[in-house]
């Protein structure tokens, strides 16, 4: 994929992401009726939005760096920022799904009762761990990306002229790559298990709960049940997006060597843009703080559009 195709295909997605993120930030800063978002929901939503902002700034910087003659190294560093921001966004979505599962599914066993009581502390601990892991991931991939001829070992010599040191650095980079890739796979499997368990538990509980309501002659149109079903459906869709993006990221996140071209990077960014756009749409449908504000703005706009029509009809009479 060339730069012109990349810009034309990703421009609408980027514009949609910028407008949507700005709206979400407005909703979090000024929630409807002054209702405050409770923790840890506020932390998770803030993490998702901050990761999206970091991602969009990096993509825009990549587009501008394309105009520079020696832009490949700059693009490589920016691609690391993109990978880390997407990884943080994905894990924040996982723990957001886990949090809603703990709020919907009643706990019956001792372990789940303990998790439900301490869900805030659990999410805080994993959130801090994720940030440390992200820093380690960025640093490790940066070491993998650095060209070997860029290491200076004295004022007048480089690694290029010191073959033992060059071989050591090559061996070190290969081991760093293996460690980072292994940790990434373990991290992916762990987050995938959390996502599957959270969504599966919620679906299993709600299906049984709805069957009991039908058996007792209760209506299925209560607002609480609709909200729970909505959150469950968006959680399942987010899980599908997570698996798709995680598999692609694991396959393409470690471009080592000169075979990785800018066209490959543009393809990766296009896939990530699709994931980000889908996640933003999912977030707006599933989160009441965004959905209610959008409905309120829509009603105000409809009232403003109806008012001139009413005035014109009165003047005509």
- Least confident range from 40-54, 66-80, 118-132, 288-302: namely 66-80
Alpha carbons 1 and 4: distance in angstroms, whole number:
8
The whole-angstrom separation of Cα 85 and Cα 97 is: 18
| Per-residue 3-state assignment (H helix, E strand, C coil) for the chain | CCHHHHHHHHHHHHHHHHHHHHHHHHHHHCCHHHCCCCCCHHHHHHHHHHHHHHHHHHHHHHHHHCCCCCCHHHHHHHHHHHHHHHHHHHHHHHHHHHHHHHHHCCCCCHHHHHHHHCHHHHHHHHHHHHHHHHHHHHHHHHHHHCCHHHCECCCCCEHHHCHHHHHHHHHHHHHHHHHHHHHHHHHHHHHHHHHHHHHHHHHHHHHHHHHHHHHCCCCCCCHHHHHHHHHHHHHHHHHHHHHHHHHHHHHHCCCCCCCCCHHHHHHHHHHHHHHHHHHHHHHHHHCHHHHHHHHHHHHHHHHHHHHHHHHHHHHHC
Residue 258, pLDDT above cutoff 50: no
Lowest mean pLDDT among 77-91, 213-227, 250-264: 250-264
Please enumerate in sequence order all residues whose Cβ is within 8 A of that of 313, keeping only pairs 6 or more positions apart, or say none. none
| pLDDT tens-digit series, residues 120-164 | 899 999 889 888 888 887 777 777 665 544 444 444 444 444 556
Backbone φ, ψ for residue 158 (5° rounding):
-125, 175
pLDDT of residue 159: 43
Backbone phi, psi, residue 179, to 5°: -65, -45
Average pLDDT, the chain: 76
| CA angle at 81 for the pair 28 and 7, rounded to the nearest 5° | 85
Under a CB-based contact definition with an 8 Å cutoff, are residues 181 and 254 in contact?
Answer: yes
Between 111-115, 129-133, 159-163, 207-211, the lowest mean confidence (pLDDT) is in 159-163
Q: How many whole angstroms separate alpha carbon 200 and alpha carbon 196?
A: 6
Residue 163 pLDDT: 53
pLDDT of residue 77: 75
Q: Give the pLDDT mean for 303-308.
A: 72
Joined together, the tokens standing for residue 174 give 């290969």
Q: What is the pLDDT of residue 153?
A: 41
pTM: 0.79
166 pLDDT band (50/70/90 cuts)? low
Tracing tokens 């009165």 back to the chain, one arrives at 314
Q: pLDDT per residue over 191-203, tens digit each?
A: 888 888 888 888 8
Task: Please report how many Cα atoms fall inside a 13 Å half-sphere around the Cα of residue 20, on the Cβ side.
Answer: 21
């Amino acid at each position: 994929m060339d730069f012109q195709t990349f810009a034309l295909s990703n421009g609408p997605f980027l514009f949609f992401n910028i407008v949507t993120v700005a709206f979400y930030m407005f909703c979090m800063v000024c929630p409807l009726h002054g209702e405050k978002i409770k923790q840890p929901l506020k932390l998770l939503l803030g993490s998702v939005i901050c990761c999206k902002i970091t991602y969009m700034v990096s993509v825009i910087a990549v587009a501008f760096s394309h105009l520079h003659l020696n832009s490949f190294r700059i693009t490589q560093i920016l691609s690391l920022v993109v990978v880390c921001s997407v990884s943080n966004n994905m894990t924040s979505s996982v723990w957001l799904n886990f949090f809603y599962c703990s709020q919907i599914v009643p706990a019956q066993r001792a372990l789940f009762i303990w998790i439900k009581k301490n869900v805030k502390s659990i999410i805080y601990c994993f959130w801090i761990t994720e940030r440390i892991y992200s820093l380690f991931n960025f640093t490790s991939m940066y070491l993998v990306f650095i060209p070997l001829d860029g290491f200076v070992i004295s004022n007048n010599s480089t690694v290029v002229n010191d073959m033992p040191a060059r071989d050591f650095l090559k061996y070190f980079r290969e081991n760093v790559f293996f460690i980072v890739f292994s940790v990434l796979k373990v991290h992916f499997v762990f987050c995938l298990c959390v996502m599957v368990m959270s969504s599966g538990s919620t679906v299993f509980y709600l299906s049984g709960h709805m069957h009991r309501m039908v058996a007792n002659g209760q209506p299925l149109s209560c607002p609480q049940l609709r909200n729970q079903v909505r959150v469950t459906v968006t959680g399942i869709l987010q899980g599908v997006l997570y698996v798709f993006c995680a598999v692609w990221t694991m396959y393409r996140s470690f471009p080592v060597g000169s075979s990785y071209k800018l066209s490959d990077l543009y393809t990766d960014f296009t896939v990530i843009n699709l994931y980000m756009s889908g996640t933003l749409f999912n977030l707006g449908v599933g989160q009441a703080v965004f959905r209610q504000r959008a409905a309120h703005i829509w009603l105000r706009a409809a009232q403003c559009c109806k008012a001139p029509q009413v005035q014109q009809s009165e003047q005509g009479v």
